[in-house]
Homo-oligomer: A and B are copies of this chain.
Amino acid sequence: MTVTLNPALDLTYAVDELRPHTTHRVRAVHERPGGKGLNVASVLHAQGEAVLATGLLGRATGSAVQALVDAAGLPSAFAPIAGETRRTVTIADGADATGLWEPGPVVGGAEWDGFVAHYRRLLDDARVVALSGSLPRGLPPDAYAILIRAARARGVPTVLDTSGEPLRLGLAAGPDLAKPNAEELATLLGPGAGPAAVRGLVAAGCGAVVVSRGPRGLLAVSGAGAWEAAPPAAVTGNPTGAGDACVAALARGLRDRTPWPELLADAVALSAAAVAAPVAGAVDTAHYRDLRARIAVTPVPQTEEHNPC
């Protein structure tokens, strides 16, 4: 099960050249359901895994996201909110992308309580939960901590992928796995933090930490040891969604109790295959299979003062 508390309708506008203070005819509009948890669900669905996407959707833009989720055949059980789900607009001209992020809805206290009750019911059928992305305004900063504790009370493992205060408070609730990227980890632990600090997170109750470091690959630290793995060659393409594909692999591995070195190789391969796919939430399956067999996982000695960031 994936949780997306702040999903979006992602619009991409193709224009010839963005020139401020002029009017542009958009050549093509691409719409997709956005939000990190929905990307995780899309990757798992495309891999043939049984997945359920939940979270919060509101009003007309929420309905548009729901319609796209349904059209993709992705099973979902979102809870309705009164506020309008946000849009993101990405303007792609020949040179680069320009992003516009709507502020999104403000979620009320009763809506959040209703979601927690809804989520607890869904946990009955869940074998692993991925909690991804930012929190909409109005939610308590320990929202992920609440959801992690509810899952643990039912014996369902959790993967947490967020940043800032929701990450810090979520880690305190002891998720089975957290996947910060290097920048999020540096924000959390300070810029000079080494693997000892990451081991500190694990010692404090987080089952394992996987740090995504872009083309340098992944570092995993668990109670049983530390490993790192990177793709055999730099992958060019669209880095958006690589972290979500990584979370998808980690969630599947948690469900299947895949041993660490193998799980890490799978996460590197699925991330790299997502970079090679044109849009977030998609994976180049042939590339994934090819990579999967070629990734070497290296144990990191406990003594090595290697900077994970």
- Which A residues are closer than 8 A to B by beta carbons? 11, 13, 15, 18-29, 59-61, 63-64, 67, 87, 89, 91, 93, 95-103
Contacts of A100 in B (CB 8 A): 13, 15, 23-24, 26, 89, 91
A99 to chain B, nearest CB (A): 4
Query: Which one, B20, B27, B61, B89, contacts A20 given CB within 8 A?
Result: B20
New A-B pairs, 11, CB < 8 Å, besides A23-B98, A23-B99:
A13-B89, A15-B100, A19-B98, A20-B93, A24-B98, A26-B100, A26-B101, A28-B103, A29-B103, A64-B64, A91-B100
Contact B101 A21 (CB under 8 A): no
Interface on chain A toward B: helix, strand, loop, or mixed SS? mixed
How many monomers of this protein are in the complex?
2
CA distance A91 to B63 in the complex (A): 24
Q: Is the CB of A20 within 8 A of B18?
A: yes
Contact, CB under 8 Å: B22 / A98: yes
Closest to A18 in B: B20
Closest Cβ–Cβ distance, residue A16 to chain B (whole Å) = 12
Closest Cβ of chain B to A263, distance in Å, is: 32
Q: Is the CB of B98 within 8 A of A20?
A: yes
**Are B63's CB and A29's CB within 8 A?**
no
Chain B nearest CB, measured from A8 CB (Å): 12
In the complex, which residues of chain B have a beta carbon less than 8 angstroms from the beta carbon of A99? Answer: 22-24
Once the chains bind, are B89 and A27 in contact (CB under 8 Å)? no
- When C-beta atoms are compared, the residue in chain B nearest to A93 turns out to be B20
